[in-house]
Structure 1
């Protein structure tokens, strides 16, 4: 089941509806990060540089260091921030999957904007917190790749499956299906985490994850008493 779902998701990730979501998400991410850059530059110039007036070489060196740090930080933020924006558009991804691969089934009901935004924020927060937890375990306990995959596999599998399921069933029904099928959902989450671990390519994570968990939900719902 999972191999077929992954294959279908990969084959569709560069289709026109998916590309539209990707470009919108990347565009909004770039606008946000550029705005953040200017805000931080203004704060540094206003509140920090005046104190370094007597030492212009220190001010210059600090400006370069902070500028480089901001650039590196924004490089790390591109993927999670893109995921944040893409989460708002995931209904478009799920609908494209359902219409292409499940034409005989009813199309899911798009989530309300407020609910989509809350889910997107939760995705973003969980990815950040999960990776911070993994980093702490790496630094203090010498654990590395396994922790990254276990933490992200669980969190991403759970949250993206929840999104796919809520287009069709209630929160209680979605939770029931998830609790009954923890293993395939976790394995799907591991596939998502594998993509997340690859720089640049990880920009595709929300598209792949939304498509993959739509397929997973369809397969699991067909086995349960919950209508797909």
Structure 2
């Protein structure tokens, strides 16, 4: 996994991957910016109705608090969902440089399927993390329990999402299900490495692209083993 990380880091300058990185970051931040505007107007309207007066300062403060919480809970989900739409370009670029023999059997993932996979990923992440939110809150008393639980849960979720981005180019749905069962422990380590990137400031912005690239190395090295 360490080798896959450095190979992925070294390929960030690839034009195809750089293009995906720029597009995915632009779309991700546009989504959060639009959500922030909608949230601010909603909070402002709600406070005005409850208090009977304009509450600009309070609405702005409450919006910031909610947006920060949303970023903590949903950034990974939104970022992976967005990258999922462009993931085929990342996988193809990594395969072209490191695994050219795999290109013969690769089938480009239709954008509709990529969007469906990304939406499914985002839905799973948000739903499961919301369900576990009370557990995260209770574990705050341990000091590190919340961070550890969040990391492990999201590693498990990422292990499927990232693996599917690559497997979808080379396998049908039945074969993908068999591949998931056969590669569970290895994919979990992949997910753990990607989840760790999401908690490192700066690297968290690169984490979705690096994760997709690392997943490509993992997929093909396992097939070659």
TM-score, with normalisation over the residues of structure 1? 0.82
Confirm or deny: 8 A CA contact 1:88 1:117 kept in the other structure: yes
Does the residue aligned with 2:101 lie in a helix, a strand or coil? coil
2:97 match: 100
Within a 5 Å distance, the mapping from 1:27-38 to structure 2 comes to: 27-38=26-37
1:82 match: 79
C-alpha distance in structure 2 between counterparts of 1:196 and 1:16, whole Å: 23
C-alpha distance in structure 1 between counterparts of 2:158 and 2:108, whole Å: 20
**Equivalent of 1:189, from 185, 188, 191?**
191
1:226 match: none
Pairwise CA RMSD of aligned residues?
2.5
Asked if 1:72 corresponds to 2:71, the answer is no
Confirm or deny: 8 A CA contact 1:83 1:203 kept in the other structure: no
Confirm or deny: 8 A CA contact 1:160 1:213 kept in the other structure: yes
2:179 match: 177
Confirm or deny: 8 A CA contact 1:134 1:151 kept in the other structure: no
Asked if 1:203 corresponds to 2:210, the answer is no
1:72–1:146 distance in 2 versus 1, CA, 3 Å: closer
2:120 match: 122
1:72–1:186 distance in 2 versus 1, CA, 3 Å: closer
Give the total of aligned pairs.
Answer: 219
Deviation at 1:172, TM superposition (A): 1.5
Deviation at 1:16, TM superposition (A): 2.3
1:156 match: 158
Deviation at 1:97, TM superposition (A): 0.3
- The C-alpha deviation readout for 1:50-96, integer Å capped at 9, x for no partner, is 5534x56xx24423422432552464344532322111000000000
Which protein shows a greater Rg? 1
Deviation at 1:207, TM superposition (A): 0.7
Deviation at 1:48, TM superposition (A): 4.1
Deviation at 1:12, TM superposition (A): 1.5
Confirm or deny: 8 A CA contact 2:16 2:93 kept in the other structure: yes
2:220 match: 218
C-alpha distance in structure 2 between counterparts of 1:73 and 1:137, whole Å: 16
